[in-house]
Each structure stands twice: as C-alpha cells, then as structure tokens.
Structure 1
Amino acid sequence: MPTTRRGALLGAAGSLPAAAASAQSAVPRDPVIRIGVLADFSGPYRDTSGPTSVVCAQQAVEDSGAAARGIRVEVVQGDHQNRPDAALALVRRWFDQDGVDMVCEVNNSAIALAVANLAREKDKAQLASGAASSALTGEQCSTHTIQWTYDTWMFANAVGSATVRNGGDTWYFITADYGFGHQMERDTSRFVQAAGGKVLGSARFPFPGTTDFSAFLLQAQSSRAKVVGLATAAADTVNCIKQAREFGLTRRGQKLAGLVMFTTDIHAIGLETAQGLLLSEVFYWDLNDRTRAFTDRVRPKTPQNWPNQEHAGTYSACLHYLKAVADLGPARAKASGGEVVRRMKAMPTDDDCFGPGLVREDGRKIHPAYLFEVKAPAESRGPWDYYKLAGTVPAEQAFRPIEEGNCPLIARR
C-alpha cells in the first residue's frame, strides 16, 4: 500500500535503535527480493511516475521469469511527497526494517542525490529511472546508483543545440526552483551558447505549489527572446504551456521549448495546443515493434495513462536488476546492493523499451535518444498517437562523454 507522510515519519522514528540492529540487517534472513518504487503518488508528477511506474515494475518482475527460477520478488511503493526529508525517512525504514533491496524511480533529483548517499551507506541499490540531474553520474556519482533513463545533459544537448541551429538563438528560461530545474537551465544554457546563441535571463518559480505562471511569462515576454525554455516537468510544463498560449506568446513570434516533456504531458495539453512542439524522449510507445509489444502488455493494466519514457525506464531498470539477481543468486543479491550494481554494469542490457545498451562505469545507462515533433490533430490516428520522429541521436552521442563528468569513480582508474 502507498506509504503516507505519517507512516514515513513514524518509520524514521522506528529506525533509530542501536547500531547492533544495523549490523544485523546486513545478514540476509528473508529470501524475498524487494523492490521499492519511490515516486510521486499525490503531487504534480503522479501521472508521469506514480501508479504506472508500479505497474511497469511489476511487469518487469513478470517478464524476468524470476518465479520460474524460484526467486520470489515483491514490489512495494512509497510517496516521497517531493520532500527529501520525508523520502529519506521512508527509505531508511525500507532498508532497516522492511527488507527492501533496491529503490527505483525516484523522480526528484534532490531526493535521488540524498538517497544515493543512504544506499551507499546501507549497501543497497538505487536505480534512478526518474531523476534527471546529470550530477548523479558526475561529481556525485556513486558505486550504488545507476541513472537509467535520461538526464539534463541529454535533454539540453538534443533540444538546445538543435533549436539554435534552426534560428532560435536568443533564450529566456522559466525554471523550477530546485535541483533538477537549476541543472536543466545550466546544461541547456551551455549548449545554446556553444551553438552561438545567447541567454537573456531566467525567472525561477517556487516548487512545488505554483499554478499561476503569469508573472514569469510576462518576464519572458518582456525579454523578447526568440525561445522561452521551460526548465520544468510534468504538471508545471502543462500549465506553463497552456498559459503561454493564453498570453499569446507564440502569436507574437516567441517559441516554447519543452526541455523535459513526456507523452503524458501532451495528453494533458491536447494536440490543438501542443502541435508543432519539438521535444526529446528516449522511448515512445509507437517507435518500433518492440516498444509496441511492451505497451500491449502494460496498457490493459493502466488504460488511462499509457507508459511514457519514465515508466519505460522503471521497467527496463527493474528487468536488468533481476537479471543480475538471478546471475548472482538472491542470497548474494540481498547481502550487497553494491555487488548487484557491479554485476549490472558488467552485463549488456537489452529490453523491449530501449533495445540493446550498456551501463557505464560512472553509472550512466546508455541508449539512443530521439527528437520528436508533436502531431497536428488531423495527423493523429487514435488515442496517444502524438509524435512523429524528427531525428535520432545515436547512443554513443546521446549522453555526456564519461571523461567530462568528473565522476570520482573514473578518476580512481
């Protein structure tokens, strides 16, 4: 069942007994492998992560064949409330009391960075399939964390550089005022400037809780930048785009660049408003036969919210994790999350969402990225048919080169 705020805080209080309990927790007494889906179940990113990510984690368990190998797997879920303190209290209880071996999703960069430290301390695994900060594989990389789906460097590279090349050479940012938003703005600014563009300024809005973006949109309009970059995600992006249309920004010649967007966002906005938007994703349900096969398995379990790239990342990460568990054996896997992560890095990846890939030494999962254009209403053939492929970024070019990340794990070589 979802973990409430009260339950998370009570769990934190219950996890404070003496160090002896922590030492005993290192001895695996429960043969069940437990996966914790830490996500937003009650806030602005519920549709982007939340229940559909749980479904995808459960689908990975089913597709892994763990049951046929005699490996018992349970999936639990918890609401991080977009608060690092509440998230850490919950995850500490998971690790110390509930026998959780791996935490995935974690669709909040500040929380993912905090959980990375706890996972390393407790020798557990974190597969950050929803967090976007490229710091997770840079200066703050960890032996116990893999960043699975996307990151700010990838989005900035794919959207920022291409837009400048197409004439959008002056930018103004509307940025969510927390770790992810700041990183997204910094990374995109760097690519805009490297391509010959200029950044004229930015406006940062409080997160979470902002629903009225009028003041920030007026600042963007006054800047006269050709492009307004939205360093936002999920509901914030949806609200900002809708209000920008109402303010007439696009009618006055300014373009909106959705730096991090998902099919769930387009679904909420509607094709009439979103048509023509360029955005980057690493998964789309109608991309090829394998993505369609995956979606056909998941869709009956979540018919109102088809899987997006974040959900696909949770599936892919859990599937590869369970392959490593099977390779090591569940007892060894429960004894050391760090050993499971090392085995995951040593094994090639392959699944219906992303195809073949690999996990680098810095914890970055590598696969292609895609540039999509949102269809006009007349081009859509049915429900969730929103994108047409505009370009492909090969896997070896999609993510930051390993030598540029300043990951301490690489510096030790």
Structure 2
Amino acid sequence: MTFWTGRRSLLIGGGAMASALAAPALRAQPTRNVRIGVLSDMSGPYSANTGQGSVIGAKLAAEDFMRARPGLRVEVIQADFQNKPDVGLSMARDWLDRQGVDAILDVPVSSVALAIGGLVAEKDKVALFTGPATAALTGASCGPNHVHWTYDTWSLAAGTGRALVADGADTWFFITADYAFGHALEGDTAGFVKEAGGRVLGTARTPFPGTTDFSSFLVQAQASRAKVIGLANAGTDTVNCVKQAAEFGVTRRGTRLAGLLFQIADVHSLGLQAAQGLALSEAFYWDMNEGTRAFSSRFAPQMGGQKPGMIHAGGYSAVLHYLKAREALGDNASGRAAVGWMKANGTEDLLFGRGTVRADGRKVHDMYLFRVKTPEESKGPWDYYGTTRTIPADEAFRPMRGAGCALVPS
C-alpha cells in the first residue's frame, strides 16, 4: 500500500486487505480518481464521536474497496469547520468549486448539513451525512444529491422515548441545547412520549455553545418531579450534564437519565460510575459480532485505543456504498446519478449488515436500545453496553409518507 500526505490529505493505493470486510468487485470499468472530503469537528465538543475517527472510517472503507482494484485512487481530505455554519459552508464551497471534491462526508452540525444539502444539489456533487441528527434531511429538506446515514433525531427518539414510557417512566423534563439539533431531538422525543401516554412537564434551554454549568437546569428538572430527565444535547454538553447529575445524586433519588444522543466515547469520558444505568439508542456497537470486532481491531490502534462509535462506522459504510456507485457508473457520473444508484441498489457490509437507501435518502438498518453497564458488570475497557432491545429497520426510522419529502411519490 502507498500513502501520500499533504494538505492534511491521505492518498491510498490498493493492497491486500482482510477479506472479511472487502467489498465485492463489480463489472464496470474502475473509476480512476475519487476525492472525498471529511468535514468535521476535529477539536470541539463532538470531536470524540466524529472528527479523526470519521477520517479513519473513510480511509478503511477506501482500503477495503480497493482490494483487487490497483488502478483506483481515492484521496481523503479533512477540515475542521469549528462547528460554525459560515466556516463550514465556505469550506464546502471551496472544496467543490476549486479542489475537485466529489463527496462530502460527516458534517456533525445540523444547520451546516442543511445548507450543504442545498449546495451539493446546486453543484451536482454528493453529501454523505453521517454526523448530523436532524430528520429534516430526509423530510422537507430532502434532496437528490445527499443521503442521511447512521441515525437521526426520529430514530433516537423512537428507541429511547417509547421504551422508557413503556417501562413506566411516563413524565419527562428536557434539558435541551438551544439550536436546531436540540430542538429537533426534544420535539421528536416529546412526540413519542405523548403518543405512548406520557407527559412532558417542562423544558430548560441551554445556550450553545459554551454551557459548562448545568446545575440550575438540573434543579429545574428535579423540581418538576419528572421521572425522566431527557438530555437533548450531545458531546461534552451531555458528558458535563450527566457528570453533574451524578454529583447532585439525581439518579439516587429515583430519577432516570435518558441520553438522547449519547455515544460510547461519551461513556468512556464520563466513566461507568457516573454513566451506569443510562438508557440510550445507537445504530452500532463495536462488540456486537465478528464483523464489528474485526473493524474495531483495525480502527482502535489508529485512535490511541478508542473503539469506534456509530458515526465512525457509518462513515465506513457510507463511503463503501458510494464507491460502489462510482465504479458502477464510471468517471463521468454526476452526483445525482451516484445517489440514484445508491438508492436503487441495496447496501451490505459487516458493520450494519444488509440495508437500503430509501427514495428520501434515508439509509435504513436496525437500531438498538442499550443500557450502560455498572462497573461490576463490565469486563474491561470499552465493555460498556448491554442490549435491551433490537429495533427492526422498519420500525427504527420515520416512515416516508407524510414527512414532506418532495422525492417521495404521493
């Protein structure tokens, strides 16, 4: 294998790879050059769940796809958009206009992703959204040039909200990050809580970014006497909130915490003593089967031992399917044609199994409801989850009908 580093980029040549994860060869003439840009949070509150891990996920997909394709050259470049919409859109435009990027991956801020969805349609390129949460990307803001991989606010809300209400936790108070993602996650979860017969007793909106002291919001939540405090935030915001809830003894008083977007890197940062018992929904866990463990064994050494989360795994899966489309269609394929191929052909990899990309751009697979283990239950580092429920693909994501996507036949 050959590597070339420059402009924070990685050029990967073909080589012998583990056959367990290799993609099947297609009959069409191989594409000679593909350039993928990972637009992510490399140093901020979402960096542990996206960031460099998303770059590595893309790199591993390219390596596996290029097995038996020695003429294919895939370049992966990366940029930190600092979670600022103006910076992210400017970087994306420069990539598409001047740097020959074919597809943009990740984008873990919903407002930026919504803007880039319009941009790739204008430029006829591709966006593989693995990081943002808003379900609007496959609803009113769906488009012919982007797909939404891994998870969204609807799938997180459906898994966690329904399960906890069914378990008797029928009164909720939300601590919500005050921006598009937080509002969407709160709204979707509140809808499931009410649908299941529960009630929402109140909401506290926290400034984003920059909230570090959640004490006043936790006091409001406790004063409501809600059985569940739903955390409609992410990254270090969620970690800090859970940590302070543990310090206040919130769960010792019988209140349950629901991390509505809480991932394995967050659990690791927080520690099992504080995170134990937390309910959460994810699309992937590194220790689920032989395929996920094999991927994780390649990923972790490049991340200082950190196991992959669902967004990192989603990056691998999305890039692999996109490269299949590029090979099938050839060098001159438009972005719209590539996304059309991705929708018309089923997905398959050893991280998510078989799946589909629907007409609205939603990639569909099973989701899982997990409970964070106690320190006594864990057998070692990163052994953090116990599976409470598998949510089948046909239940895990919002139905297409009635969601407002113009691409869905009426």
- The TM-score, its normalising length taken from structure 2, stands at 0.91
**What secondary structure is seen at the aligned counterpart in 2 of 1:196?**
coil
Aligned to 1:6: none
Please say if residues 178 and 205 of structure 2, whose CA atoms lie closer than 8 Å, have aligned partners that are also in contact.
yes
More helix by share: 1
Q: Answer yes or no: is 1:46 the counterpart of 2:44.
A: no
Aligned to 2:223: 222
Please say if residues 354 and 365 of structure 2, whose CA atoms lie closer than 8 Å, have aligned partners that are also in contact.
yes
Q: CA deviation at 1:393?
A: 0.6
d(CA) in 1 for partners of 2:68 and 2:157? 41
* Residue of 364, 368, 382 corresponding to 1:370: 368
Q: Answer yes or no: is 1:387 the counterpart of 2:404.
A: no
d(CA) in 1 for partners of 2:192 and 2:347? 29
Letter in 2 for 1:325: R
d(CA) in 1 for partners of 2:176 and 2:250? 17
Aligned to 1:209: 210
Please say if residues 286 and 308 of structure 2, whose CA atoms lie closer than 8 Å, have aligned partners that are also in contact.
yes
Q: CA deviation at 1:276?
A: 1.3
- 1:176-225 CA distances to partner (integer Å, 9 max, x unpaired)? 11111000000000000000000011011111111111111111111111
- 1:49-83 CA distances to partner (integer Å, 9 max, x unpaired)? 11111111100100112672522110000112111
Please say if residues 66 and 73 of structure 1, whose CA atoms lie closer than 8 Å, have aligned partners that are also in contact.
no
d(CA) in 2 for partners of 1:380 and 1:332? 51
Aligned to 1:23: none
Q: CA deviation at 1:248?
A: 1.8
Q: Rate the CA distance shift 1:67–1:114 in 2: closer, same or farther, 3 A.
A: farther
Q: CA deviation at 1:295?
A: 1.0
Aligned to 1:275: 276
Query: Quick check: 95-104 or 210-219, which moved more?
Result: 210-219
Letter in 1 for 2:403: G
Q: CA deviation at 1:303?
A: 2.9
Q: Answer yes or no: is 1:159 the counterpart of 2:160.
A: yes
- 1:236-271 CA distances to partner (integer Å, 9 max, x unpaired)? 110000001112211222111111111101101111
Letter in 2 for 1:356: R
Counterparts of residues 148-297 of structure 1 (less than 5 Å): 148-297=149-298
**What secondary structure is seen at the aligned counterpart in 2 of 1:409?**
coil
Letter in 2 for 1:372: F
d(CA) in 2 for partners of 1:133 and 1:69? 38
d(CA) in 1 for partners of 2:93 and 2:103? 12
Q: Answer yes or no: is 1:63 the counterpart of 2:64.
A: yes
Letter in 1 for 2:332: R
- 1:350-394 CA distances to partner (integer Å, 9 max, x unpaired)? 112101101000000000011111111121112211011111011
d(CA) in 1 for partners of 2:240 and 2:133? 20
- The TM-score, its normalising length taken from structure 1, stands at 0.90
Please say if residues 368 and 391 of structure 2, whose CA atoms lie closer than 8 Å, have aligned partners that are also in contact.
yes
Letter in 1 for 2:377: E
Letter in 1 for 2:56: V
d(CA) in 1 for partners of 2:53 and 2:271? 20
Q: CA deviation at 1:341?
A: 0.5
Please say if residues 263 and 309 of structure 2, whose CA atoms lie closer than 8 Å, have aligned partners that are also in contact.
yes
Unaligned runs of 5+ in 2: 1-5, 9-30
**What secondary structure is seen at the aligned counterpart in 1 of 2:189?**
helix
Q: CA deviation at 1:230?
A: 0.2
Aligned Cα RMSD in Å? Answer: 1.4
Please say if residues 369 and 390 of structure 2, whose CA atoms lie closer than 8 Å, have aligned partners that are also in contact.
yes
Please say if residues 355 and 363 of structure 2, whose CA atoms lie closer than 8 Å, have aligned partners that are also in contact.
yes
Q: Rate the CA distance shift 1:106–1:115 in 2: closer, same or farther, 3 A.
A: same
Q: CA deviation at 1:297?
A: 2.0
Query: Percent of pairs identical after alignment?
Result: 55
Please say if residues 293 and 352 of structure 1, whose CA atoms lie closer than 8 Å, have aligned partners that are also in contact.
no
Q: CA deviation at 1:304?
A: 3.2
Q: CA deviation at 1:305?
A: 2.0
**What secondary structure is seen at the aligned counterpart in 1 of 2:368?**
strand
Q: CA deviation at 1:326?
A: 1.0
Aligned to 1:399: 397
Aligned to 2:407: 409
Unaligned runs of 5+ in 1: 4-29
Please say if residues 262 and 281 of structure 1, whose CA atoms lie closer than 8 Å, have aligned partners that are also in contact.
yes
Q: Rate the CA distance shift 1:41–1:325 in 2: closer, same or farther, 3 A.
A: same
Counterparts of residues 26-105 of structure 1 (less than 5 Å): 32-65=33-66, 68-105=69-106
Please say if residues 146 and 365 of structure 1, whose CA atoms lie closer than 8 Å, have aligned partners that are also in contact.
yes
Counterparts of residues 14-29 of structure 1 (less than 5 Å): none
Q: Rate the CA distance shift 1:67–1:2 in 2: closer, same or farther, 3 A.
A: farther
d(CA) in 1 for partners of 2:68 and 2:39? 23
d(CA) in 2 for partners of 1:67 and 1:95? 29
- 1:125-184 CA distances to partner (integer Å, 9 max, x unpaired)? 001001110000011101111000001001100000111111111101000111110000
Please say if residues 32 and 71 of structure 2, whose CA atoms lie closer than 8 Å, have aligned partners that are also in contact.
no
d(CA) in 2 for partners of 1:120 and 1:67? 32
